[in-house]
Structure 1
């Protein structure tokens, strides 16, 4: 093999390695950007009364593009796997809160998600729900309401990595 051929081969191998690295970096950046543009992921809720972390909620998307969220872990005083939704009045009555779907049917509406429901497992009540991202996708403002959005309350959830 000539010296020219060896150099050409080495240059070609470096080019292939650099292209592979660049592709991996672009894919990683695209994944990170997609995660910050949607609520899909894991979120830490905060207790309205104590200001302490309360639970981790996993938000997923189904084949129709609708979002749902379920409790994957209780935090602090709520880290009791045997806690049940004693106040629920639907099929979730007396079911474990851990693993329970508390958000369903959320649909993208412009820069927000709307038209779904959220359950408060503390009081068993179902509310209409809307949500939007803030702080470059690191915060999710979740609003539960009755009738019109003015009659409700909002919580800010923190994205977990």
Structure 2
């Protein structure tokens, strides 16, 4: 009985740490040039373990909460920025704490990039890499608790 209780206790203590090593949650993106917070993005897990991320809040000073994605193409053209899906299709890589195979949209340019998400610092930060072929850039987002 004591071993069973100890095992349950260990799992209960470790479970939050496991959950944190996932991109699922709310993240604050930061402008590469100014270091200012840009937006909050909520990443959720959809059916089949596929991730989706939507802009939940615009954080820039003077940002228009009614802003539309004027640079976006196709069905996203002129859609409200708040609620806009910017992460689609990423899945956990086999045997790694990395999610890839999806796309990320830069709503400021309307361009879409290949995506890789890597939780770091015990899941408190998220490396977000967007690339086209060998070229790309990585941003570090902060988890919002």
- Higher-Rg structure is 1
Q: Is the 8 A contact 1:131 1:142 kept in 2?
A: yes
Q: Is the 8 A contact 2:56 2:82 kept in 1?
A: yes
Write out per-residue CA displacement over residues 63-97 of structure 1, whole angstroms, 9 at most, x where no aligned residue: 20011100000102264221111011121001101
Structure 2 counterpart of 1:115, from 86, 89, 101: 101
Q: Is the 8 A contact 1:117 1:127 kept in 2?
A: yes
Partner of 1:84: 68
Q: Is the 8 A contact 2:17 2:122 kept in 1?
A: no
- In the superposition, the TM-score normalised over structure 2's length comes to 0.87
The 3-state SS of whatever aligns with 1:33 is: helix
Write out per-residue CA displacement over residues 117-147 of structure 1, whole angstroms, 9 at most, x where no aligned residue: 0000001001111110111111100000112
- In the superposition, the TM-score normalised over structure 1's length comes to 0.79
Q: CA RMSD, aligned part only? A: 2.0
Cα distance, 1:144–1:78 mapped onto 2, change above 3 Å: farther
The 3-state SS of whatever aligns with 2:61 is: helix
Q: Is the 8 A contact 2:22 2:97 kept in 1?
A: no
User: How far apart in 1 are the matches of 2:141 and 2:22?
Assistant: 13
Larger helix share, 1 or 2: 1
Structure 2 counterpart of 1:136, from 119, 122, 129: 122
Number of aligned residues: 138
Gaps of 5+ in 1: 1-18
Gaps of 5+ in 2: none
Structure 1 counterpart of 2:59, from 53, 66, 75: 75
Q: Does 1:105 align with 2:76?
A: no
